[in-house]
Each structure stands twice: as structure tokens, then as C-alpha cells.
Amino acid sequence: MTYSEDELLPISALTDIVFCPRRAALHQLERVWEENVATVEGHNLHDRVHDGATESRGGVRVARGIKRHEQSFEVQLCAQAMCLEEMLNCKVPAGALFYGISHRRQDVPFDHALRQATESAARRLHELIEAGITPKAEYSKRCKNCSLFTLCAPKTGNIGSVEKYLAKAVV
Ligand code: SF4
């Protein structure tokens, strides 16, 4: 499917949709942002990208700045590779993730399954944005690592829109 310029979505939102659709909606539909310690640590690494802290080592290009959500890193990285392939008409068979906090490197082959998962995440993200409805909160263990926990309030009764929740809270 081809999208117009206005319909394009940030690659980083793929991380959100894989991690939690509600989180993707809070960011992309409601523009809700709340930083916690984990996010701040991620931003510190991210800031280095914008400070020019990219480098090449032995033919490996190091690009920092991928957000810190377990199980969704690979999809975001694969999306970046697929964009490069389209832009530069080349093949990117694999990449690697470097976890700044644990100093751990993980090789990521861009195989068929990961490419399909990436395309599926992109479709789901577009469907979510087109629907324009924030999914209700479902509390799970991932919520403990979510920087939107306070505003999302997943334990307080399955609310939908944070905007409406905040409006009610101040009445
Ligand atoms: S707190 Fe939980 S339900 Fe709410 S956005 Fe984060 S992960 Fe999703």
C-alpha cells in the first residue's frame, strides 16, 4: 500500500505498537508524553545521535537512539533497514542492537519472519491512527516499564482517552 506524505508515521511508533497499542495511541493520537527514569536514560543515548555521535567501526555503522522497549527493538531496526533498502536500492541482510545499559550486543538477521512482523506492525499502526480511538488500558507486567504509566493509569478502571480522564479529574 502507498501512503501520502501526510499519512506517513514515525518509525519509532512501531516500537510502541508492538509494545502496547494503547501507548502508540497515547503518543500519536493524544500527544501524551511522560518521561520516567528509563526513558530519560534512553534519551541520553538518543541525544548523542543528534550530537553527531554516530560512527563506523570496522565497516559497522553505529547509530544510537532506538527506544528502550523489549521485544520491539527488532521491528524498529528492521523497519529502518527496509527504508534504507528502498531508498538506496540495496540489500540489508542483518543489523545489530547494542543495549547501552547492559553493554550487550545482539545480532539481528532481517529474515522473512521479522520482515513480515514489521509490515504487520506498520499496518496495525496505520489502522490504529485511522480509527482515531485510544484502546482501553489492559494492565500487564509491561506496564511497569512504561513511561506513560502514571497518565495511562492502567489499574484504575480501564479508561480510554487520557484527555477525557484528565478533564474529569480536574472537575
Ligand atoms: S501503562 Fe500499560 S496499558 Fe498503559 S500505555 Fe503503558 S503499557 Fe500500555
Which residues, including other chains, have CB under 8 Å from residue 51's CB and lie 6 or more apart? none
The residue behind cell 506513560 is 148
The separation between the first and the last C-alpha atoms of the chain, rounded to the nearest angstrom, is: 44
Distance 144 CA to ligand 1 centre (A): 8
* pLDDT for 117: 97
* pLDDT for 40: 44
Dihedral (CA of 62, 67, 71, 76) sign: negative
Count of residues for the chain?
Answer: 171
Burial group, residue 166, by CB count within 10 angstroms (0-12, 13-18, 19+): middle
Helix (H) or strand (E) holding 17: helix 12-19
Distance 3 CA to ligand 1 centre (A): 28
Pocket of ligand 1 (CB under 6 A): 20, 22-23, 26, 137-138, 142-143, 146, 148-149, 152, 154
* pLDDT for 69: 57
CA torsion 128-46-154-163 (nearest 10°) is: -60
Distance 23 CA to ligand 1 centre (A): 6
**What is the residue with the minimal CA distance to atom 2 of ligand 1?**
143
* pLDDT for 49: 45
Distance 146 CA to ligand 1 centre (A): 6
DSSP 171: -
Q: 97 has which bridge partners?
A: 106
Segments making up each domain of the chain, as ranges: 9-169
The series of mean pLDDT values per 10 residues for the chain, 171 residues long, is 84 94 93 59 50 49 50 93 96 92 92 97 96 93 87 77 62 49
* pLDDT for 100: 81
**Three-class SS state of 57:** strand
Burial group, residue 101, by CB count within 10 angstroms (0-12, 13-18, 19+): exposed
Closest ligand 1 atom to 140 CA? 2
In this prediction the pTM is 0.76
Residue in 34, 148, 155 to alter for ligand 1 test, most ligand atoms within 8 A of Cβ: 148
Residue in 152, 161, 162, 165 to alter for ligand 1 test, most ligand atoms within 8 A of Cβ: 152
Q: Alpha-carbon distance 24 to 5, whole Å?
A: 20
Distance 10 CA to ligand 1 centre (A): 19
- Report residue 120 as a C-alpha cell: 504487520
